[in-house]
Amino acid sequence: MQAQFSVRIREELPDLHFFFLSDVWLDQPKTLVGLTKMFDNCVENDFIPKLFVFCGNFTSRSIANGSGRDIQRYNGEFHRLPKDYLRSCFATESFDALADLIAAYPMISQSSHFIFVPGPWDLTLNSTLPRKPLLSSLVSRLKAKVPKSHFATNPCRIKFFDQEIVVFREDSMSRMLRNITAGVKLDATGDDLKRYVRYFRFPNAQSLTKLNVFQLVQSILDQAHLSPFANHIQPTLSDHDHALRLYPLPTAVNQPVYDYERRKHSQSLRLYWLTSTTGSR
């Protein structure tokens, strides 16, 4: 029955697509240039995704313990847009610039949903997991100009018919590598674990290995929890700990993984892994 339902969805909704973007650094001018190119390609090819998921960090530098100048840069740095972008040459605020950019494409802003998931460096009301949405004072223009914008917690869950996608933005890999027990070696060659993982390798990713990826995935799967660490390593809000649990298993988990030894290249590895929920495909 579920298989027939999945076939029917593919037949009746052939143009249904989800876009996932992580580390959308709004304090870097080239980010808006890249987003402009992406939106242009979507419109020119009549390829309008149903959903855009923008994951933090939305700044290239941490400001959790920063000065007032860092906060001003986060919310008030100027960006020069492409010369042919005549609607506005400068935007005085990072999220305002993104709001103006999205609103400039009515085909996208009126039909697509936008979900914003904060990262560990973004300004939220709390710094422990699960994190609350971005501060409303930063995204007021986005709410006004993009009617289908949604500001989610970190992690968040996207429900699509009988399927569930968990979006989680946390530097779990670097935290695991800092706290891994010496001498422990994981057998990550079995097909039972390999079938969960779908990842995309970038040319600059040299420090992270396939074994590191399998270790992280197996730790999360074994504990059925997005934060498989002791509370003194990764504090969590006990009243909302259920938001981090992965039981029953969702259809998929989307989580970026980064190589901080080569941080200047930003993203080095993107991890997308499937779970074994029966009948979810």
Q: In terms of pLDDT, which residue wins out, 12 or 77?
A: 12
Report which of residues 51 and 249 the model is more confident about: 51
This prediction has a pTM of 0.79
Angle at 107 between CA 103 and CA 110, to 5 degrees: 65
Quick one: pLDDT band at residue 60, thresholds 50, 70, 90? confident
Give the integer Cα–Cα distance in Å for 173 and 177.
Answer: 6
The mean per-residue pLDDT over the stretch 77-104 comes to 59
Q: Sign of torsion, CA 261 262 266 272?
A: negative
Tokens of 12: 């009746």
The mean of the pLDDT values for the chain is: 76
> 65: which 2 tokens?
């313990």
Closest among 189, 158, 194 to 273, alpha carbons compared: 194
Burial of 192 (0-12, 13-18, 19+ CB in 10 A): exposed
Question: Is the model's pLDDT at 83 over the cut of 80?
Answer: no
Q: Which pLDDT score, from 0 to 100, does residue 109 have?
A: 96
8 — pLDDT class (breaks 50, 70, 90):
confident
Task: Return the higher-pLDDT residue of 272 and 56.
Answer: 56
